[in-house]
Each structure stands twice: as C-alpha cells, then as structure tokens.
Structure 1
Amino acid sequence: MTSMPASERLGSHIKRAEQALNATKTAVLRPAGLTVAQYAALLHLSDNPGISAAALARLCGVTPPTMNTVLKNLQDRALIERTPHEWHRNVLETRLTDEGRVVMADADARAVRVERALAAEFTDEERETLTRLLGRCVGLLEKERP
C-alpha cells in the first residue's frame, strides 16, 4: 500500500488532463498533417520569426535535440526555412515559409476550436481561478526542482 492514494495525488489529475488535451489535439491536428510538437513549434515561430532552435525548444518545453528533430521534419516539408544569423553564423534563424503559414493557419483554427471548447466548460471566474492555481503549481514545482 502506498502512503498516498492515486485519487488524492494532484499530479495524477494534472497528468490526465494533459494527456486528454494532447490526445484531442493530436486527433484534430492529424488532418493538417502536424503533430502537437510540430504545431507548437509553428505557433511559436509565427510569433517569434527568426528565433533560434534552442530558444524555441525552451518555449515549447522540449529538449534541444527533440526540437532539432521537429524542425528537420518541418523543413523537409518546406514549412520552415533556416538561415544563418547575420552576425552569428553558427546560429540558425528559423522562419515560417508561405506554405508553413498556410498549414499553421489551418492547424491553429483546429487547435483553437479545442481550446474554446475547453474554455467554454468554465465560467470566466473559474477560468481565471484555474489559470491562477495552475500558475501556483508551476511556481512551486519550479522552486522544488533539484
């Protein structure tokens, strides 16, 4: 017997919610031809053109090697282009291509439908409370990290 039942572990509930969100987004992004990780990269690239792979990895919450794989797949599909930085030749700047913007717009419309449906399950006050509570979780867990 464990010292704390699974039903009382907040981490289990957070993980289940994350898994359900990822599974739903995976299903709605499939017709756009993107994975959730690829969509996240395109989303952040649309807001941060020219960003480096390392900075993009941090924004997406993945390791740099994982992001390099994601970017290689997006580049192979001609959805992004990577060019050397003007002053730092060993840094590649990453930008969406025209085709990448088209795919991103389609994928984003699909993902936003999921986000809106999720948000609609809560009142404005509940959404604000949930956002604040999750922020507290993140703050505590980031402080506790070894």
Structure 2
Amino acid sequence: MDPPHPARDVTEHVGYRLKRSAAALRSAMDRALREHGLTVPQYACLELLDQRPGLSNAELARGAFVTRQSMNVVLRGLQDAGLVSRSATTDHGRALPAHLTAEGRGRLDTARSDVYTIESRMIAAVPPERLSALLADLDRMAEALGG
C-alpha cells in the first residue's frame, strides 16, 4: 500500500509529527507542573473547572482526554489536596459537580503561568501569520477522525 503522502520513512508522516509535538509538549508540561505538585491531567481538570464550574466526572474526563476511571483518581487526589470540592449529594441524577477551592484557584494561577510560557515557546516557532491556519488545520484533522 502506498503512503497517504510522499514520505521516505515514518518520521515524515503527519501522524508521527503530531505525536512528536504532543510528546514534547507533554514532557515540558510534566516538568513544569511537577514544581507545582500537579500532573497534566490534574492541571487540565483545574483549568476546566475554572472555565466551567460544576462539571461532572464524565464531563471532566472528556475534556481532559482521560477515562472516567482515571478522572475519578484525578479528582480524588485534587480533593485530598484541598484543590477541588465536591458535594456528597446532588439535586439531580448521580453526577456530583466539582468546584475549585480558593487553594485550587491559587495553585492553578501559579501553574498556568508556567504552562502559558511553554505554549508561548511552542507557538513562537510558527510565523504569526500562519498560526490561525495551523489551528484551523488541526481542528479539521481532528474532525476528519471523529474527534
């Protein structure tokens, strides 16, 4: 079978390049977030709750690209650290809404600064006039695969 585009080896495939970029971003975030006592999924959870307080475990899992079971572990760790609160009961259904605590918001604010610095370094490699097109292309690729 012929490759989907001209490529001498696997390192020239789009999927490989996307994975390499994602791995580099993840590694940089892991290192930075370790200084704040957070993992990447924990940071993603805090960001999501800052933007949309009251999300359920399932909604947080979808937003952070982890399983519901993994998000349960993430939420438990964040609760134990006093960064997130969840009520013991809910007014409707079984989903328990989660909220940032004041300590969680503070930790997010300090970690966010380091994460934004990493993202700034990453996008500085893209000419500013091409950034919008790159973002649109990435969205179209994800949508083409049902994501």
> What is the TM-score with the length of structure 2 in the denominator?
0.89
Name which of 36, 50, 59 aligns with 2:40.
Answer: 36
Name which of 52, 55, 66 aligns with 1:62.
Answer: 66
Gaps of 5+ in 1: none
Between the aligned partners of 2:136 and 2:95, the Cα distance in structure 1 is 36
Task: State how many pairs are aligned.
Answer: 141
> Which residue of structure 2 aligns with residue 7 of structure 1?
11
- List 4+ stretches of structure 1 deviating above 4 A: none
RMSD over aligned CA atoms reads 1.6
Following superposition, the deviation at residue 87 of structure 1 comes to: 3.0
Identity %, equivalent residues: 35
2:93 pairs with 1:85:
no
Q: Secondary structure at the match of 2:145?
A: helix
Following superposition, the deviation at residue 3 of structure 1 comes to: 6.0
Between the aligned partners of 2:62 and 2:12, the Cα distance in structure 1 is 31
Following superposition, the deviation at residue 64 of structure 1 comes to: 0.5
Between the aligned partners of 2:12 and 2:117, the Cα distance in structure 1 is 31
The aligned amino acid for 2:110 is D
> What is the TM-score with the length of structure 1 in the denominator?
0.90
Moved more, 51-60 or 116-125: 116-125
> Which residue of structure 1 aligns with residue 129 of structure 2?
125
Between the aligned partners of 1:97 and 1:7, the Cα distance in structure 2 is 44
Following superposition, the deviation at residue 7 of structure 1 comes to: 2.3
> Which residue of structure 2 aligns with residue 50 of structure 1?
54
Between the aligned partners of 2:43 and 2:66, the Cα distance in structure 1 is 13
Higher helix share: 1
> Which residue of structure 2 aligns with residue 110 of structure 1?
114
Gaps of 5+ in 2: 4-8
